[in-house]
Amino acid sequence: MNSQIKIWEDQVIPGFNDSLVIHFKIPTWNDELENTVSLTIFWKKNKQDSYKPKEIFVSSPCYIQHTFQNGITINGNLDIKNFSYFNSTDTLGIFGDIYYYINENENYIWHTAGFLISFNPKPANIDDEKTHIIDESILNKLKTAAAVNPMAVSDSEHAWSFFYYKPFLKKSPDFSFPAKLVSLKAKGQRELMQNEALDFIDGIVPYNLQYVFNVNELYGDIGKFKLFYDFLYKGKILTHIIEQTCVFFDTSVKDFLIYLESDSYLENKQRLWETYFALIITMGYDNENRTAIMKVMMLCNFLEKVFDHLDDAQFTTTLDKTKLFSLFNASIVLNEEIFPLPAKSSMSIN
């Protein structure tokens, strides 16, 4: 079988004079076969310091974990995923979610997430409702979620491809966690931010009962948002989203609009954001819950914008297919007042 080599390089860790390189061996794709992608990971200045994980299959992600001679450990996943980009004929690519640690430290020092490389299995079909729309130019700017610069993309990309934390406006002592993190970051207190996040997760006063352990147990319709996200993700036609929402939640457009503005919904969404912040800060803790929370927050953003763009009869959305796809796959932009975390008080890389 013919194959080609695709090279991806990650210039990790500011000030560290080396780069992680991954050589992907991509087969000539044949949809009738269960082909695999083999790979080798090494440091650019020391190719002998290498690691060869298991092959990547279309049907399952590849888990990577290895400690190199320079003391840096990588931990994460590589996936083959469908995507569509209007300026590309690619429909399959490899996406990564990689954390870097040093000298067995529990806290990661760098995080790379998103699109890595693509290959050309067949012409893209933008009418395929099951395909993700992912703009490579945007994903390459998302090397780390904490490094997203909202000013680096156009207004149209902002509107549909990204969404931001909006605090619950009602004053409540229950939602003091973000303000505390902002205060600690302003003082450069990374370790105290991490301790505060652990207190939040453990439910220590004033954070008792604020951490979301299970998104499916949230009160009200939002407790079914993950199920609805999974339902839509399986290739449902997003242009029918208004009808699908009303049927799934057994509600009307009017009542669902009221729900999206209710204190109950907004309070639960605030708890999700705060839990997400805590899990990002204590990276590696309860990753499954973090993924579930991301799905719910993505659906919150999606439904809020969709129901904010209804036709005059309030039967359908005025958003076209392209905007709906981008909106459904929108990326979270972390609060710049909190992220990235301050530098560690002392860290050396040999």
pLDDT single digits (tens) 35-55: 678 899 999 989 999 999 988
Residue with tokens 């919150």: 300
> Can you give the pLDDT at residue 136?
34
pLDDT at 91: 62
With a cut of 90, say whether residue 257 has pLDDT above it. yes
Burial 305-326 (b: 16+ CB within 10 A, else e): bbbeebeeeeeebebeeebbbb
Q: How many domains does the chain have?
A: 2
Say what the pLDDT of residue 318 is. 95
Do residues 119 and 181 both lie within one domain?
Answer: no
d(CA 215, CA 227): 10
Assigned domain for 34 exists: yes
DSSP state of 316: S
Q: Please tell me the predicted confidence (pLDDT) of residue 348.
A: 42
Selection from 134-148, 245-259, 313-327 with the highest mean pLDDT? 245-259
Give the pLDDT band (50/70/90) at residue 85. Answer: very low
Asked if the structure places residue 24 within a domain, the reply is yes
Instruction: Say yes or no: 56 and 27 in one domain.
Output: yes
Cα dist. 153→166, 321, 331, 349 in Å?
Answer: 20, 21, 13, 33
Residue 150 in any domain: the answer is: no
Based on the fold, state whether residues 198 and 115 are members of the same structural domain: no
Q: Of 86, 110, 113, 8, which is closest to residue 333 (Cα–Cα)?
A: 113
Neighbours of 183 (CB within 10 A): 14
Whole-angstrom distance, CA of residue 32 vs CA of residue 25: 19
Q: Is the pLDDT of residue 122 over 70?
A: no
Q: What mean pLDDT do residues 214-243 have? A: 92
Checking if the pLDDT of 106 tops 80, the result is no
Pair 190, 235 in one domain: yes
**Looking at residue 140, what is its pLDDT?**
39
Domain that residue 102 falls in: 3-143
Within 8 A by CB and 6+ apart from 172, the residues are none
Selected residue with higher pLDDT from 249 and 163: 249
Q: What is the pLDDT of residue 32?
A: 44
Closest CA to 16 of 96, 52, 74, 70: 70
**Range in 145-159, 226-240, 252-266 the model is least confident about:** 145-159
Is the per-residue pLDDT at 192 higher than 80? Answer: yes
* 261 inside domain: yes
Q: Are residues 249 and 303 in the same domain?
A: yes
Does the structure show a pLDDT above 90 at 259? Answer: yes
Residue 151 included in any domain = no
Average pLDDT over residues 90-100: 78
Taking 50 as the threshold, does the pLDDT of residue 303 lie above it? yes
50 shares its domain with 183: no
- Give the Cα-Cα-Cα angle 6, 144, 147 (nearest 5 degrees): 130
208 shares its domain with 325:
yes
Are residues 272 and 198 both part of a single domain?
yes
Give the type of residue at 293. I
Over residues 212-230, the mean pLDDT reads: 95
Residue 155 located in a structural domain:
no
In this prediction, residue 151 carries a pLDDT of 38
Report the alpha-carbon distance of residue 163 to residue 169 in Å, rounded: 17
Share of the chain above pLDDT 90, in %: 40
Q: Is residue 285 part of a domain?
A: yes
Report yes or no: 92 and 85 within 8 Å, Cβ to Cβ: no
Label residue 233 by pLDDT band (50, 70, 90): confident
**325 pLDDT above the threshold of 70:** yes
Residue with more model confidence, 61 or 8: 8
| pLDDT surpasses 80 at 262 | yes
Residue 133 shares a structural domain with residue 196: no
Q: Which DSSP string do the residues of 279-298 spell out, in sequence order?
A: HHHTTTSSHHHHHHHHHHHH
60 part of a folded domain? yes
Q: Do residue 55 and residue 172 come from a single domain?
A: no
Instruction: Give the residue with greater pLDDT, 96 vs 28.
Output: 96
Can you state the angle between helices 287-307 and 321-328, rounded to 10 degrees?
A: 150
* Ramachandran sector of residue 50 (left: φ over 0; alpha: ψ -120 to 50; beta: rest): beta
Assess whether 174 and 131 both reside in one domain: no
Q: How high is the mean pLDDT of the chain?
A: 79
Instruction: Kindly report the pTM of this predicted structure.
Output: 0.60
The predicted pLDDT at position 138 comes to 34
> In terms of domains, do 207 and 110 share one?
no
Q: What is the pLDDT of residue 59?
A: 62
Flag whether pLDDT at 183 surpasses 50.
yes
Contacts of 195 (CB under 8 A, 6+ apart): none
Residue 330 clears pLDDT 90, i.e. is over it = no
Given a contact cutoff of 8 angstroms between Cβ atoms, the answer to whether 201 and 284 are in contact is no
3-state helix, strand, coil in the chain (%, to 5): 35, 25, 40
DSSP state of 170: S
Burial per residue of 40-70, b for 16 or more beta-carbon CB atoms within 10 angstroms, e otherwise? ebbbeeeeeeebebeebebeebbebeeebee
